[in-house]
Amino acid sequence: MFPPSIRTNRRLAVHAFARLYSTATSAHPIKVAIIGSGPAGFYTAHNLLKNERVQVDMYESLPVPFGLVRFGVAPDHPEVKNVINKFETIGANDRFQFYGNIRVGDSVPLQAIQSNYHYTVLSYGASEDRHLGIDNEDSLQGIHSARSFVGWYNGHPDFKDLAPNLDTETAIVVGQGNVALDVARILLSPIEELEKTDICEHALEALRKSSVKHVHIVGRRGPLQIAFTSKELREIMGMPNTRFIIDRDYVEKTVSEHKAALTKDRPRKRLLEILVKPQEPADSPRPKTLTVHFLKTPRAAVPDSSGARLAAVKFEDNELRDDAVAVGTGSFTEIPAGLLFRSVGYKGTGIPGLHFDSRRGVVPNNKGRALDSQGKIIPRLYVAGWLKRGPTGVIATTMHDANETSTMVLEDIHQDLEAKEDALASVSGAAGVLGTSAAKAVDAVSFSEWKAIDAYEREQGQKLGKPREKIVSTEEMLRLVHEARAAKA
């Protein structure tokens, strides 16, 4: 038996839970708009739909759902994409509608959404990237953001024509997060491994002809600050065709200098142990190399003799202050390379009519309740996912974060209903936002129409011995949707 205080708390918790997920039937549905169909959007929808009065309309700028699960997660990590199975069950709920191919803030203003729904959740992610701010970054051929390269191999329509020139032996990736590891792994993986994945055919074709043999991953700070995770580091160090090069003495020295701190931070201690562990002997020679560098900040992209293409990157050596900030020493080194990927993080952007923190790339919020420029809660506007907390965190982190936001929405629904049931009487939702003719004009794609695209992609993949071959152009996706509509009519 629980002691009385725990019994009371438990009763309160059960009561609160019952209120949040109240299934009281009433004439008026509670209409919620969710903007963005990545994990944040779907996990939020999942939680909100537990209240049986809630109806969710999800708006997505692309004709296809799932955000970075489709366009970010590496093709050789198919197990991560299993979350899509859960999202599919949400898509099948008859209180859920998907409106693909609708960019909120563009074809539909945010204000129109807010005035047509009781509650609006923004979960449109971080669709830009940070720049390095170095000389020649935007003018030389051979310099790409990791975001565009990842989008290219994963079939994002915006990057289908990137065509990176892989006719160079050496590539540099700046940044030491998991995206940098993804980029390096795709560049170095044996092509037979990639052929079995859902990587796009255009990328496979380019990687088959690639001359890249050496990749340098360069960080501005030290081993204690790397943002790789253990599993991903172990995976890349285990590549049988690639020799892993690192200054082990420097890492070991850093470890011994920070022994006390590391005993309190076991995951990082483990990560550093992996970093210095010698590679397992390989059955055959390792023709490729992956070199990890620390304490280097890129300062300039150096052109080749034609002046058009990257030939090297100039780095300033750093030392670390006690507060772990990197400071330039005034001494420079150059690493010759024909390709440079900046992998220094994604960045969120605002949409018209929204108070936005451009420096952090987030919508300011209190546990998911959006705030105005005075720091006051904007009634019935919420934010979840990377747009809420910035562009870090794996899918599980995003799920926890969406749980927090949806709890706030459910609490507010309960309070609003207690205040006045009629408060939720008179909004119209998607039909009111788009209108029937407008919906046709903007070509909104439904979830069942997405399933037609999905089936086609799987079929094309099967012919190539892959799980799927993605359609990479929006026009082609819409053509297929129109065909499916015509067949149904």
Work out the end-to-end distance of the chain between its first and last CA atoms, rounded to an integer number of angstroms.
62
| Distance of closest approach, residue 143 Cβ to ligand FAD, in angstroms | 18
User: Is the CB of 74 or the CB of 409 nearer to ligand NAP?
Assistant: 74
The b-or-e profile of 101-132 (16+ CB within 10 A means b, else e) is bbebbebbebeebbebbbbbbbbbbbbebbeb
Q: What distance in Å separates the CA atoms of residue 47 and residue 409, rounded to the nearest whole number?
A: 10
Q: What distance in Å separates the CA atoms of residue 143 and residue 139, rounded to the nearest whole number?
A: 8
| Distance of closest approach, residue 111 Cβ to ligand NAP, in angstroms | 31
C-beta nearest to ligand NAP: residue = 177
Q: Which of ligand FAD, ligand NAP, none has residue 40 at its interface (CB below 5 to 8 Å by kind)?
A: ligand FAD
Q: Which of ligand FAD, ligand NAP, none has residue 405 at its interface (CB below 5 to 8 Å by kind)?
A: none
The interaxial angle of helices 447-463 and 474-488, nearest 10 deg, is 110
- Residues forming the site for ligand FAD (CB under 6 A): 35-41, 59-62, 67-68, 72-73, 77, 80, 103-105, 123-125, 127, 150, 179, 182, 346, 351, 385-386, 393-395, 398
Q: Which of ligand NAP, ligand FAD, none has residue 100 at its interface (CB below 5 to 8 Å by kind)?
A: none
User: Is the CB of 100 or the CB of 361 nearer to ligand NAP?
Assistant: 361
Q: Which of ligand FAD, ligand NAP, none has residue 341 at its interface (CB below 5 to 8 Å by kind)?
A: none
Q: Which of ligand NAP, ligand FAD, none has residue 338 at its interface (CB below 5 to 8 Å by kind)?
A: none
| Contact between residue 144 and residue 340 where contact means Cβ atoms under 8 Å apart | yes
| Distance of closest approach, residue 172 Cβ to ligand FAD, in angstroms | 18
| Distance of closest approach, residue 156 Cβ to ligand NAP, in angstroms | 15
Q: Which of ligand FAD, ligand NAP, none has residue 132 at its interface (CB below 5 to 8 Å by kind)?
A: ligand NAP
Instruction: Report the 3 state secondary structure along the chain.
Output: CCCHHHHHHHHHHHHHHHHHCCCCCCCCCEEEEEECCCHHHHHHHHHHCCCCCEEEEEECCCCCCCCHHHHCCCCCCHHHHHHHHHHHHHHCCCCEEEEECCCECCCECHHHHHHHCCEEEECCCCCEECCCCCECCCCCECEEEHHHHHHHHCCCHHHCCCCCCCCCCEEEEECCEHHHHHHHHHHHCCHHHHHCCCCCHHHHHHHHCCCCCEEEEECCCCHHHCECCHHHHHHHHCCCCEEEECCHHHHHHHHHHCHHHHHCCHHHHHHHHHHHCCCCCCCCCCCEEEEEECCEEEEEEEECCCCCEEEEEEEEEEEECCCCCEEEEEEEEEEECCEEEECCCEECCCCCCCCCECCCCECCEECCEEECCCCCEEEEEEECCHHHHCCCCCHHHHHHHHHHHHHHHHHHHHHHHHHCHHHHCCCCCHHHHHCHHHHHHCCCECHHHHHHHHHHHHHHHHHCCCCCCCCCCHHHHHHHHHHHHHHHC
| Distance of closest approach, residue 73 Cβ to ligand NAP, in angstroms | 7
| Distance of closest approach, residue 222 Cβ to ligand NAP, in angstroms | 9
User: Is the CB of 98 or the CB of 315 nearer to ligand FAD?
Assistant: 98
Q: Which of ligand NAP, ligand FAD, none has residue 345 at its interface (CB below 5 to 8 Å by kind)?
A: ligand NAP
Q: Which of ligand NAP, ligand FAD, none has residue 344 at its interface (CB below 5 to 8 Å by kind)?
A: ligand NAP
| Distance of closest approach, residue 273 Cβ to ligand FAD, in angstroms | 22
| Distance of closest approach, residue 281 Cβ to ligand NAP, in angstroms | 26
Residue 248 neighbours by CB distance under 10 Å? 12
| Distance of closest approach, residue 203 Cβ to ligand FAD, in angstroms | 14
| Distance of closest approach, residue 280 Cβ to ligand NAP, in angstroms | 21
User: Is the CB of 125 or the CB of 303 nearer to ligand FAD?
Assistant: 125
Torsion of CA 105, 152, 178, 336, to 10 degrees: -120
User: Is the CB of 169 or the CB of 404 nearer to ligand NAP?
Assistant: 404
User: Is the CB of 82 or the CB of 284 nearer to ligand FAD?
Assistant: 82
Q: Which of ligand FAD, ligand NAP, none has residue 225 at its interface (CB below 5 to 8 Å by kind)?
A: ligand NAP
Q: Which of ligand NAP, ligand FAD, none has residue 410 at its interface (CB below 5 to 8 Å by kind)?
A: none
User: Is the CB of 35 or the CB of 45 nearer to ligand FAD?
Assistant: 35
| Distance of closest approach, residue 262 Cβ to ligand FAD, in angstroms | 25
User: Is the CB of 326 or the CB of 478 nearer to ligand FAD?
Assistant: 478
User: Is the CB of 303 or the CB of 468 nearer to ligand FAD?
Assistant: 468
- Residues forming the site for ligand NAP (CB under 6 A): 130, 132, 174-180, 182, 219-221, 225, 227, 229, 232, 343-346, 391-394
User: Is the CB of 211 or the CB of 358 nearer to ligand NAP?
Assistant: 358
Q: Which of ligand NAP, ligand FAD, none has residue 289 at its interface (CB below 5 to 8 Å by kind)?
A: none
